[in-house]
Structure 1
Amino acid sequence: MTSLSPYRLDPRLEALIDRVAERQRADFGHSQPDLKADGSFITACDRWSDATLVAGLAELFPGEGVLSEEGRQQVPATPAYWVVDPLDGTTNFAAGIPYWAISMARFEAGVPVLAILEVPPLRQRIVAIRGQGAWRNGKPIPPPAEQLHNAGCASLCSRSIRVLQKLPHRPFPGKIRLLGVASLNLVSVAMGQTMAALEATPKIWDLAAAWLVLEELGCPLRWLGPTPQGLQAGTDQSQTDFPVLVANRQETLERFMPWAEALETKAQPFR
């Protein structure tokens, strides 16, 4: 159940996020991407955002490690640590599509306990605190099961859309949306924007913050491969995918399971 109490973040942490979001808005439309070894894009703004967030977290929370997409990708050995995607949706950002996010989550005992999803182009901040609820711009988010405005949309990532070819004679049970931002694809379910989301190859930094938002709002998750819970200290997460199906309620999850099972993630990994 969503808490009615306002959340409180360290003002210095909020100032750090504000600084990075403002720089991203200023750079939007002016960044040329480079190609990384895995075929994905990266921009100078990604690198600056990552370095700024990692340095800022180290200063604000000394003794807590940081795992980030563009930096150290090993699970820290500290009792508490942060998982950061400094700019989720680089392809959108570089292409001039105004939809991307800053994803941050603080982990304790192998699970996220604080999640922050900043959406700079929309000036939205989604926050979740374990056991207390989730908020958007300071207002409690109602569980999707209590929301009545869902338009029957379902989110697929660019790799999971291939499941449509595996079940050609079965109508897909939703209007397909490809948002191009893994963290926001997933959290769209918690926000009541979509009824389900299927991600074929998310990394821990793609899903860390959305994971907690979904749990706090009662959205069922089905891990289709390894689970990200309780990651071992020192393990490299650069090549580990955590395919997942999420839904607004259990019956929706079951309705979409045939397409989730069609991923065949072990036999035919999506790249």
Structure 2
Amino acid sequence: GIPIWAISLGLLYRGTPVFGYVYAPPVKQAFHGFWAGESGLDIPTGAFLNHNPIYTSADAPSNNHFFNLCSRSTSVIQPGFPCKIRMLGVASYNFLTVASGATLGGVEKNPKIWDFAAAWAIVQAAGGSWISLDSEPLFPLIPGKNYGDRSYPTLAVSRADLVPVFQPFLRSLA
């Protein structure tokens, strides 16, 4: 496999991530991002990789572009899928490749809140869109509630207009 692992830290305000930091030591990459969203906070917005600004890709899907999967979401590999498929093995890093513009999208079938809270803020700060494939909203989290056994099937894409391009392939994941 690809020897990637990461340390992930998300700062939540009223149950919703507003800052994320992820460090992937094997590749010496440090991501961070600020995203106020609908929090009402007056904070800067931006996403960074090793202190350099990053942005999602504006490219249209093609056979020259990548889309990341987790090992439990291989059912999306169907005729007509618009990109090349890759599996990285780390949910947070999977989504951060969207933030950095390296991939057009990524999907995870069973990530836990600690797998993506930091990446959630970074992806959106970079210009991406985050879509829950579950009927329940991701955020805000409720203080005192145990989220240890809850999975959050998730799609992250480089921009909102790609959701209808990829979502038809993801019906089996929800």
Which category describes the TM-score, using the shorter chain as reference length?
A: 0.7 to 0.9
Q: Deviations over 1:142-180 (max 9, x none)?
A: 34228xxx941100111011233xxx5x32211000000
> What residue is the counterpart of 2:55 in the other structure?
142
Alignment partner for residue 242 of structure 1, among 146, 152, 167?
152
When normalised by structure 2's length, the TM-score is 0.86
Q: Secondary structure at the match of 1:114?
A: strand
For the 8 Å contact 2:73–2:108, the answer to whether it is kept is yes
Q: Describe how 1:24-173 pairs up with structure 2 within 5 A.
A: 97-130=2-35, 131-145=44-58, 151-164=64-77, 168=78, 170-173=79-82
Q: Secondary structure at the match of 1:256?
A: helix
In 2, distance between residues paired with 1:187 and 1:125?
Answer: 10
> What residue is the counterpart of 2:169 in the other structure?
259
In 2, distance between residues paired with 1:141 and 1:127?
Answer: 10
Q: Secondary structure at the match of 1:172?
A: coil
Q: Describe how 1:205-216 pairs up with structure 2 within 5 A.
A: 205-216=114-125
Higher CA-based Rg: 1
For the 8 Å contact 2:10–2:17, the answer to whether it is kept is yes
Q: Secondary structure at the match of 1:160?
A: helix
Residue 228 of structure 1, CA deviation? 2.0
Q: Runs ≥4 in structure 1, deviation > 2 angstroms?
A: 142-146
Alignment of 1:198 onto 2:103: no
Q: Secondary structure at the match of 1:212?
A: helix
**Mind listing any 5+ residue stretches in structure 2 that lack a counterpart?**
36-43
Q: Secondary structure at the match of 2:71?
A: coil
Residue 118 of structure 1, CA deviation? 0.2
Q: Deviations over 1:103-154 (max 9, x none)?
A: 11111111112210101011111111224201111111134228xxx94110
Q: Secondary structure at the match of 1:159?
A: helix
Q: Deviations over 1:154-210 (max 9, x none)?
A: 00111011233xxx5x32211000000000111111111111111111110011111
In 2, distance between residues paired with 1:142 and 1:220?
Answer: 12
Q: Secondary structure at the match of 1:262?
A: helix
Residue 227 of structure 1, CA deviation? 2.3
Whichever structure has more helix as a proportion of its residues is: 1
Q: Secondary structure at the match of 2:151?
A: coil
In 2, distance between residues paired with 1:194 and 1:106?
Answer: 25
The alignment's C-alpha RMSD in Å is 2.0
When normalised by structure 1's length, the TM-score is 0.56
**What is the one-letter code of the residue matched to 1:253?**
V
**Mind listing any 5+ residue stretches in structure 1 that lack a counterpart?**
1-91, 266-271
Q: Which has the higher contact order (CA 8 A, sep 6+)?
A: 2
In 1, distance between residues paired with 2:16 and 2:53?
Answer: 22
Residue 98 of structure 1, CA deviation? 2.5
